[in-house]
Amino acid sequence: EAGVAQSPRYKIIEKRQSVAFWCNPISGHATLYWYQQILGQGPKLLIQFQNNGVVDDSQLPKDRFSAERLKGVDSTLKIQPAKLEDSAVYLCASSQELTSGSEETQYFGPGTRLLVL
């Protein structure tokens, strides 16, 4: 079974530029998550999709970050314009459809390491 795919693996940009990350979840997984992992910290959820609908985007800085999951499969996360503090690893994860009391495991991709100069 193929895992969660992410690209690019690394990206270096200057502040105020824009950047986009792509994620392809495990086939059949209805739930997709984007996490931000700042150096020395645990991952923090940015946005969660169930199929192509947003479940939770309470921690997404909506003035500069956007995400979409057209057709309920792959997803893109965009930052425009980027700030120095956006330097982090952006992790995508997926799980089977979330239901009440679900113990579904989240499977993580390798991440995209972003450096903003």
Partner 1 sequence: AQSVTQLGSHVSVSEGALVLLRCNYSSSVPPYLFWYVQYPNQGLQLLLKYTSAATLVKGINGFEAEFKKSETSFHLTKPSAHMRDAAEYFCAVRTIYNQGGKLIFGQGTELSVKP
Instruction: Write out the residues near partner 1 by the rule CB under 8 A.
Output: 4, 6, 31, 33, 40-45, 48, 55-56, 91, 93, 98-111, 113
State the amino acid at position 73 in one-letter form: V
Shortest Cβ 93–partner 1 spacing (Å): 8
What single DSSP character describes residue 14?
-
Shortest Cβ 23–partner 1 spacing (Å): 11
Q: Which is nearer to partner 1, 10 or 15 (CB)?
A: 10
Phi first, then psi, for residue 96 (nearest 5°) are -65, 175
Q: Which is nearer to partner 1, 18 or 28 (CB)?
A: 28
- Count each helix (H run) and each strand (E run) in the chain, helices first: 0, 11
* Residue 14 in tokens: 């200057």
